[in-house]
Structure formats: C-alpha cells, structure tokens
Amino acid sequence: MTSVATGTDMSATTAVRRRRYVDRKSLLPLLLFLPPSLILFTLFVVLPMIDAATFSFFDWNGYGPITDFVGFENYADVITHRNFGTAVRNSLIVVAVSLLIQLPLAMWCAIALAERGTHINLIRVLFFLPYMLAEVAAGLIWKFVYDGNYGLLPAIGGAIGVDMPFVLGDKLWVIPAIMLVITWKYFGFHMMIFIAGLQSIPGEVIEAARLDGVSKWQIVRHIKIPMIRSAIVISVFFAITGALQLFDLIIPLSNGGPSHSSHTIVTFLYQFGILRMKLGFGGAVSVLLFIACVIVALAYRRILFKVEQN
C-alpha cells in the first residue's frame, strides 16, 4: 500500500480514506476469498519458486539431499554457456515479432471483422481456431507442413518451380519458420481481445465522426485505437510474457535444433537443466528468467502509469 502511495502523488488523506474503506466494506470478502487462493498460490507458485532459487546455488542432479553448495557458479555457467546467447536472442526475436507483426496483424483483422454478421463470425472462428489448438498439436501439424519430403511447403514450392529447403533442419530458415507458426497460432487470440474492445465503442461516436466527414483511416487512427487502449495494453503484456515463456511449440517443431540454433530461454532450460539432470543449472536459468519477467512487468506498469497520468 505504502509503495503505491509513494509511487504516485496520492495525498495522505486519500490513502487513509482508502484504507478505511478496505477495513469496513471488504474485510469479509477478503477473509472469505483470499485464504484459499493465497494457500494455493503459496503452495504451487511461491514455494516452488523458492525451491528453484535454492537449487540454483547447488550442484544437484535431482537425486538425494541437496548438499553441494557452489555459490554463484551455476549462474556463471549459464551466462558463459555457448548456447545461452542464442536462446536469449531467439526469445527477444519472438518478443519483437509478437509486437511488430502479430499484434498489428491482429489489429488489422479485428478492425475488419468487428462488425456483426454470420459470414464475419465464420471468418472470426476460423482465425481463432489455431489458438484453441494445443501447442504441441500445432507444432506437430506444422512439422508435417514443413517436412521436406512430404510436406505442404515443398509441394507449393514444387508447383511454382522453387526448390524449398528442409526449413526445420536449416539454421537460416528455422527461426523464420517458427515465427510464422507463432504468428499463425496467437494472432487470433489478440484479434478477439481487440474485437471485444472495438465492440464496446459506442456506435454514436463513430456515427458522429462519419457525419463530420472523417475518413475511415482517421476514425481508426484517432477514435478506434485510442478507445481500445486498455485492450492493447493487455495484449502487449500477454505477448511479451508469452514470448518469454515460449516452449511447447518449439519442442515438436525443431527441438531447439539444428545445432541448438532455435532454443528459447525455456527450451534451453529444459534441454540443459532438466534432461541433462543439472537441476542447479536449470534453477539458475529459471531465476534469471524470473528476474527478466519481473523487470518487464514492473517497467511496463511504470510506463503505463506515466502515460495514464499525462
């Protein structure tokens, strides 16, 4: 509470007033609803996180008691690992592609499909379908699409007379190929968030603008997008945190290969921490990832606060 109060220019009296409000009106629901979620959260989120952080200071293979204290050695090993840089770079590429390609695409589709109508609903469902598919299933499907012998991609290439490479076995092509799948998989989700936002804009506002002779593009630019700001804020947040945690699409597609060139931070953690039974190393990766996520979340909040106050 205090940190929020100092973080903004909230006056002392509002803080007091707010506290009193909490005391009187929300005490009962607080007592009623908080404990179950707090207990679950502690058991399944906080304690495992503390565990992982503890492992990161030990040399431990997963068996028996944790005794081999090594200080920050695991962290040093992670940072100097020959494949860690690639994993970080790839995760950042996913973030960039999500923000610069996936979200604009989702916005474009949302604006085109925000009207109601049977055929429009159908198209919407079609666009949303990939998102409902399990990640692993999507990965497997695209693995077949990309397969150089039997896949759809080489078939298309053959039809137009271009010799397609085995994209998932090619260091140059594997990342663009994965980015395409990510965009295909998640743009529908963001599109739905945007559509929900667009539909909450009162019709009169747009009607009035139209009567004033405002062009379509200007309506989008100056009315629609500003009015669904909160939807965009949520989408961007999901896109960034989702990108940092990307895992289950990569495993069936490329398994991080060829030559560990398509690892994300999480597949890197799984490959070198879990599968190779170096849980301390894995713990160190997860702590670093956690810190990165917290920084993103805090920075994002702060930036938004500033924008909101302006």
- By CB atoms closer than 10 A (0-12, 13-18, 19+), residue 299 is exposed
State yes or no: residue 242 binds another protein (CB under 8 A): no
Rounded least distance, CB 263 to another protein, Å: 12
Alpha helices in the chain (DSSP H): 2-7, 12-25, 27-41, 47-55, 73-80, 84-97, 103-113, 118-132, 135-146, 152-159, 174-199, 203-211, 216-219, 225-227, 229-244, 250-253, 265-269, 279-309
Distance CA 103, CA 232 (A): 9
Which of residues 175 and 191 has its CB atom nearest to another protein in the complex?
175
State yes or no: residue 255 binds another protein (CB under 8 A): yes
State yes or no: residue 169 binds another protein (CB under 8 A): yes
Rounded least distance, CB 86 to another protein, Å: 13
State yes or no: residue 277 binds another protein (CB under 8 A): yes
State yes or no: residue 168 binds another protein (CB under 8 A): yes
* Token pair listed for 68: 């081999």
Helix, strand, or coil here: 131?
helix
The residue whose two tokens read 């060139």 is 261
Which of residues 30 and 162 has its CB atom nearest to another protein in the complex?
162
Which of residues 62 and 104 has its CB atom nearest to another protein in the complex?
62
Residues 61-80 as x/- pattern, contact with another protein by CB under 8 A: xxxx----------------
User: Out of 108, 128, 166, 247, which residue is the one contacting another protein (CB under 8 A)?
Assistant: 166
State yes or no: residue 155 binds another protein (CB under 8 A): no
Distance CA 58, CA 72 (A): 9
Rounded least distance, CB 290 to another protein, Å: 21
Which of residues 164 and 219 has its CB atom nearest to another protein in the complex?
164
Q: How many CB atoms lie within 10 A of CB 168?
A: 21
Rounded least distance, CB 134 to another protein, Å: 16
Residue type, 118: T
User: Out of 108, 258, 292, 304, which residue is the one contacting another protein (CB under 8 A)?
Assistant: 258
Helix, strand, or coil here: 208?
helix
Rounded least distance, CB 3 to another protein, Å: 38
State yes or no: residue 170 binds another protein (CB under 8 A): yes
* Number of chain positions touching another protein (CB under 8 A): 27
The contacts of residue 113 (CB under 8 Å, 6+ apart) are: 120, 123, 124, 127, 191, 195
Which of residues 170 and 248 has its CB atom nearest to another protein in the complex?
170
Helix, strand, or coil here: 134?
coil
Which of residues 75 and 272 has its CB atom nearest to another protein in the complex?
272
Rounded least distance, CB 87 to another protein, Å: 14
User: Out of 94, 106, 167, 182, which residue is the one contacting another protein (CB under 8 A)?
Assistant: 167
State yes or no: residue 148 binds another protein (CB under 8 A): yes
* Token pair listed for 26: 């929300």
State yes or no: residue 200 binds another protein (CB under 8 A): no
Q: Note whether 216 and 224 are within 8 A (CB).
A: no
Binding site for another protein (CB under 8 A): 61-64, 146-149, 165-170, 254-255, 257-260, 271-272, 274-278
